[in-house]
Structure 1
Amino acid sequence: MREQILKPYRVPEILRTDSAADMNGYFGSASLYNTQKQLDSHNTWFRCLTKIILTPNEAKQGEKDYKWYEMGFFTQWERSGPHRVLCVDTPLHFKSAFLATMAHSTLDMNDPFAMLKPLIDELVNLYDRSVWRVRDTIRVIERNRLKVKPDFHRMQEIMRHAIHVKEVLTVFLDMLEKLHQDKNQVYDKLNTQAESYQWEQAQSHLQLQIHLARNLKERSLATVERLQSEITLAYNIITQEDNSVMKLIAVLGMTFLPGTFVSAYFSTNFFTYGDGWGGTSKMWVYWVVTIPSTVAIILIFQAWVRTSNPGSTMAGSWRRLLRMDRTHPVYKDVPVV
């Protein structure tokens, strides 16, 4: 079946294989000339993919919330006719939109690429829809960042969609560049005084389409960066909340520390209880051991801080521990909320 459908378009053998059907894009063409070295026919074949995130109204329950379109296009131009375009795996609205564009366009059928002008217009519109669906999904996350807890699984899914859209847009832009080169080569061979003006206009329109596709790619790159920024911000907010909890635990520990110390201190054998209150004359031993060991621990901590963070001071270390001093590099990316 595939062989019979593609035969009129003189598709190369390699493009009829399953390997070509799995590629994210390609472009190729072929020309036939008569004995007078005039162009008799010209065929083009290209493939491009796009991914559309479905809205809640479009997505069916239990199914994926996105749709891949693995589109293939095959054109045939004959000097004496016919002129054909075969579109494979396009969205449902694509055919009607393409025919409507064809009906409102004045096409010069002496141009081997005349049918590609409205076709590429519809593809640019389709990629525009793909990019904005990703952008709209990211915008919902940005608006609700302080209202709902971050869903990292959902963010990662959207990031995957955004990367796919960026990938296929890059391939689509490369395909348009190849088409532009092919048109230049064919027009150079067909160029006549009467037709040069119309073909110049056709090339200008293709350059506009390339410019639009390049702008869509830039917006796609921006959506990836915006989503990555949201993921980083969500992570930093959670980290800050965890730090606040740890600070609260430290304050609670400090609250009970004096009572713990007093009870432990008076439970030692330095004090006696019974008929009266008494103590030992060796109390000084406790302070002789405790004070030097405390000072030694503080000095060891200070030495560790200076080793791990050159230029740090003891006062600065305590501020960072107790107050999360934001001048320190560790906290430079933690947002204030």
Structure 2
Amino acid sequence: MPRTDVSFKTSDGVTLRGWFFTPPPTASGSSTGIKLPCLILTHGLSCIKEMGLSELATKFSEELNMTCLVYDHRGFGTSDTAPGQPRQEVITWLQTSDMRDAITYVQGREDVDRSKVALWGYSLSAAEAVYVAAIDRRVTAVIALGPGMDGTEIVRRMAPPHAMLAMQGLFEMERLARADGKDPTRVPVVSNEPGVQATLPSQESWDFFSKWATNGSTWKNELTVRSLEDVSTFALPISHLDKVTPTPVLFEVGARDTNSPPDMSMRWYAKLSEPKEVVLVDADHYQLMVDGKFQETSADADAFLKTRPEQGVHFAKRDLFQDNKHLRDHMCTDWAYPSMLWEKICREANGYAGSARSFDGHQQTRVDTSWFQFLIKQLKPRANASQQTYDYHWYEMGFFIYALASGAAVAFCFDTPQVFQVELLDSLNSGESNPPKEAMAFLQCAIVIEVSRLYDFSVWSLRDQIRAIEKKRSDARYVDSSIDFAQLHDLARHTIHTCEVLAVAADTLTTLLGDYRSSSGRICECSFGPREKPDCPHNKMWFWLGLLQNFGRRAKSLNDRLSNEINLGFNLVVQRDTQETVTISRMTVDISSAARGDSASMKTISVVTLAFLPATFVCTIFSMSFFTLNVDDSTGEKHWLISEYFWIYWVITVPLTVLTLICWWLGQRKEDRREEKKRLTWKSATL
């Protein structure tokens, strides 16, 4: 196995030394000029590279045909330390910075594929590797063996409360002493002497480290007190777990680990987003690195590096970002999220699709991004038949996919319903098909399939409502019952919206298929011509595009059926009203006939009245006191006498009659003018 001594400078000028492993010359791809992936291995608290890392690096290099870099942390083993910093001192933030410098070093080598650099860490270094993966996108995978994710919790579990207080006092005294220029205080890493307080007090810790202290190794059984203070407060990894995705992570956890308790490791593992894997090994913290368990854990790491999960999904509410400028800026700077998508015009769009590609300094693809949006209107069942309008919900789902050239990718899903989230994760975790090399297409296809199912459910919900309306026609009382046209038109509004969003969804998917480029820059072979790759996600997307178009045609058919029901209902109501009008007309004829009969009777009464009117008038006059029948007493003769004041009757009667006629004429004329005015107003309104 070719192993060479190497050294590299950190960003603050410290020289770190280690070994670089390359596959045997007979290994595929190990010939000169071929760039291979690289795995960087770092050891745990106080450990040096000679403590098992050479065997592990050799195994990875031979079996996986990859290069490996093993180095000592600053101040340990053969590595230097910074001026003024004592040896055997752990400063976690400097160690994480050194890891990033190690990535820079291997990326600068001619025999390393700069786009495929992974980290392997044990114990404390495992937690540091997880943190580096969260802040450095150059990391393509992480293997964390016995990860000590939270130094504060680990120390709290290992030390009783009174010891914690004593440690705080010791830390204060050490700071004062160092400020006065005194040499740093050192404590043993392990000890089996009674009464001696060691950094790692367990028996298994003594068993592991003591053999390295007695076999001629350069490992030193000591750490500075400042190291204990630093490690006991190290919690950076747990605060950055949400930023690790899309980098795949493997946790290898010892079931009997007391240094990195499994319940703690599993709790932080649960906080990681996909892609991730966990392996629970029946071992304590140190058995993960020695004996038969070493073969088991290295085999798990082998399998992970060969077929590591490269696709992850993150669900979020868009309002969370809309109300937080810091999160929006983080998405734009760290994930290449287009800032224009935060604008209102995009958030309220009925759909869109786009993509972009960025390159590194060597014009090699670094990141591919894709963004798209779908709208779905989901009708809810009515609570009761008397409900006038339909309840509904808009699913305004946005998606953004970030894919590295290495194949790792993550999909951000905004404002998706719970059923979509469950189905998508079940689909990705089903294992029915292995993720293809083109992670972008794989995630796009998975999302499109689940979105299409939501569209299908939306269309069938409309169909159920429309079919229920159609079935009402078989009821004999359908026409007699009141047809709610407002409700029908409200349902028509929802159907029109569904037709719109389905048409836009088909256009969006067409854009996704048209915009696609593989990591080589070529259009996918299945995007045109014969389908030579049936397993390519784009073939599935072409299929679902056809289904979306068919869903749109079904929605159009439903809209036509609903329009037919509205027209039929209108015509039936008009027909019913016409029949009622005919019935009323017949009743009007009967009423008119009766009125004519009444009119004839009144006419007869009027003629009779007119016939008796002259006689009545004459009788009235002669019955007045102006006339008297006089009898002569002497002769017995009778004769009429007219009063000399009879003229008074005519003086009053004639003017009064004339005045009455004039008043009647004026009233009749006023009424005629009013009717003429109404007629002219109606005539002008109809013109």
**TM exceeding 0.5:** yes
Paired with 1:47 and 1:153, the residues of 2 have a C-alpha distance of: 32
Select between 69-78 and 235-244 the one with higher mean Cα deviation.
235-244
Structure 1 portions without partners, runs of 5+: 277-337
Residue in 1 that maps onto 2:448: 120
Q: Report the CA distance shift for 1:107/1:158 in structure 2 as closer, same or farther (over 3 A).
A: same
Distance 1:206 1:190 in 2: 18
Answer yes or no: is the 8 Å Cα contact 1:111–1:199 preserved in 2.
no
Tell me, yes or no, if the aligned pair for 2:390 and 2:491 is still in contact at 8 Å.
no
Aligned partner of 1:135: which letter? R
- Residue 110 (1) aligns with residue 438 (2): yes
| 1:111 to partner: Cα distance | 4.6
C-alpha distance after superposition, 1:61-116 (max 9, x if no partner): 9x972111110000011112531000011111111100111123322033531211
Distance in structure 1 (CA, Å) of the matches to 2:556 and 2:348? 24
The 3-state SS of whatever aligns with 1:108 is: coil
Name the counterpart of 1:22. 348
Amino acid at match of 1:178: T
Q: Is the 8 A contact 2:382 2:390 kept in 1?
A: no
- TM (norm. structure 2) is 0.36
Report matched runs for 1:106-255 at 5 Å: 106-145=434-473, 146=475, 147=478, 148-183=481-516, 185-186=517-518, 189-190=521-522, 197-198=532-533, 201-255=536-590
Q: CA deviation at 1:221?
A: 0.7
Structure 1 residue 56, shift from structure 2 partner = 4.6
CA distance in 2, matches of 1:130, 1:52: 5
Shift of the 150–191 alpha-carbon distance from structure 1 to 2, 3 Å rule, reads closer
CA distance 1:166–1:272, shift in 2 (3 Å): same
Change (3 A) 1:18 1:257: closer
Name the structure 1 match of 2:399: 73
Alignment of 1:83 onto 2:83:
no
Separation (CA, whole Å) in 2 of partners of 1:190 and 1:111: 15
Q: Is the 8 A contact 2:375 2:396 kept in 1?
A: yes
1-structure distance, mates of 2:598, 2:523: 102
Q: Could you say which residue in structure 2 is the equivalent of 1:39?
A: 365
| Letter of the structure 2 residue corresponding to residue 124 of structure 1 | S
1:53 maps onto 2:402 in alignment? no
Q: CA separation in 1, counterparts of 2:401 and 2:380?
A: 30
CA contact (8 A) 1:107 1:115 kept: no
Q: Which structure is larger by alpha-carbon Rg, 1 or 2?
A: 2
- Supply the AA of the counterpart residue of 2:543: L
The answer to whether the 8 Å contact 1:79/1:110 transfers is no
- Aligned residue for 1:149, secondary structure, equals coil
Contact 1:187 1:199 in 2 (8 A): no
Q: In the TM superposition, what is the alpha-carbon distance from 1:51 to its structure 2 partner? A: 0.9
- Using the alignment, how far apart are the partners of 1:244 and 1:187 within structure 2? 73
Aligned residues: percent identity?
Answer: 27
**1-structure distance, mates of 2:464, 2:390:** 18
Deviations, residues 136-185 of structure 1 (Å, cap 9, x unaligned)? 111111112444432122212211111111111111111011011112x4
2:521 match: secondary structure:
helix
Task: Show structure 2 runs of 5+ residues with no match.
Answer: 1-326, 526-530, 612-687
What is the CA-CA distance between 1:197 and the residue it aligns to? 4.8
TM-score normalised by structure 1 residue count: 0.71
Q: Distance in 1 between matches of 2:408 and 2:520?
A: 23
Asked if the contact 1:124/1:209 (under 8 Å) is kept, the reply is yes
Q: Kindly indicate whether the alpha-carbon contact (under 8 Å) linking 2:405 and 2:519 is maintained by their aligned counterparts in 1.
A: no
* TM-fit CA distance, 1:40: 2.9
Q: Which amino acid aligns with 1:130?
A: S
State whether residues 43 and 74 of structure 1, in contact with CA within 8 Å, keep that contact through their aligned partners in structure 2: yes
Aligned to 1:290: none
Q: What is the match of residue 291 of structure 1?
A: none
Matches of 1:38 and 1:75 in 2, distance apart?
19
The alignment partner of 2:466 has SS state of: helix
**Kindly tell me: are residues 10 and 212 of structure 1, through their superposed partners in 2, closer, same or farther at Cα, counting changes over 3 Å?**
same
CA contact (8 A) 1:70 1:89 kept: yes
Bigger relative contact order (CA 8 A; separation at least 6): 1
C-alpha distance after superposition, 1:17-51 (max 9, x if no partner): 12211111111110123456543321001111111
Counterpart amino acid of residue 90 in structure 1: T
Deviation at 1:257, TM superposition (A): 3.1
**220-229 or 8-17, larger mean C-alpha shift:** 8-17
Aligned residues: 268
- The amino acid that maps onto 1:217 is G
In the alignment, the residues of structure 2 paired with residue 263 and residue 222 of structure 1 have an alpha-carbon distance, to the nearest angstrom, of 61
Distance verdict in 2 for CA 1:222–1:187, change over 3 Å: farther
Shift of 1:199: 8.0
